[in-house]
Amino acid sequence: MTRLFTDQISHIPETIDEYNQELKDKTGCGLVGLANHALGTEYETAFLAQKRAAVVPVTVGEGIIQGFSKSVAAILEYMGFEILVTNSSDVKGIKEAYQKKADILLMADDDEFIALNLEENKYVDNNWATARAYVNALELMVGGLKDRTVVVQGLGPIGREAVRALIEKEARIKVYDVDEQKMIKLTEEVESVEAVKNPEQELKHNKLILEATPVDNTIQEDYIDQKTYISAPGVPLGVCKTAISSIEDRLIHDPLQLGVSLMAAGVL
């Protein structure tokens, strides 16, 4: 996850219901349903309403992103959690969350975004959660991934986690990264993964794409047809602007919602 900008997330609280509906239209599941599908759980809103989730603003490094805590809290509230954003930040904020009897805590600095459940001695990392969420969303969109070929573009932390999640789904996996060393390392670690040299050709030929790069315009209009499905955790979105209208119904992309919902459900 690259550092988010306020402009990319400030709409989340007002549009979360609309977002959830679109997710349902594409995958058959809303945020809670998708988290349940990915985790093998059966959480319901009424159960989540008994859990208090605290978001702690963190000032270290590049500091607070305006709207970040509020957006994370809005996602959790929509899932059913009782929420609070602590008044204090950092260590004092963590103390406040515990004084206010939070069951789970979410907080992010420039490198890490985690959910904690100290009572259960559990934590969930945003990379793990985001990759699982997007692989499961793709699976639901296309009705199964077993023996289907998925091209994973971008082998940063989320792309690599996505490869692990796709292995669990028994998908065939092709990977591409501009950094050839990353592809070599991954194919040495995981035998069944194939590194591709020509992403353009592969993206045109293979219809299931997991886009996890931190850059735009990686997917051009002529790569896409009616059978293309894209699950894109990468921010900014890699699909070029002129292509979005032709893939919109078969594209999953958001800056925070899916990852946060799986973090929170996963840490319970």
List residues binding ligand 2YJ (CB under 6 A): 1-4, 57-58, 64-65, 68-69, 108-113, 126-127
Whichever of 1 and 163 has its CB closer to ligand 2YJ, that residue is 1
Tell the smallest beta-carbon distance from residue 113 to ligand 2YJ (Å).
4
Whichever of 27 and 69 has its CB closer to ligand 2YJ, that residue is 69
d(CA 93, CA 154): 35
d(CA 196, CA 4): 29
Beta strands in the chain, from DSSP E residues, in sequence order: 52-55, 82-85, 104-108, 113-117, 122-125, 149-153, 172-176, 194-195, 208-211, 229-231, 251-252
Residues 6+ apart with CB under 8 A from 139: 145, 169
Tell the smallest beta-carbon distance from residue 213 to ligand 2YJ (Å).
14
Cα dihedral 252, 253, 257, 260 sign = positive
Tell the smallest beta-carbon distance from residue 2 to ligand 2YJ (Å).
6
Whichever of 124 and 247 has its CB closer to ligand 2YJ, that residue is 124
Tell the smallest beta-carbon distance from residue 58 to ligand 2YJ (Å).
4
Whichever of 126 and 228 has its CB closer to ligand 2YJ, that residue is 126
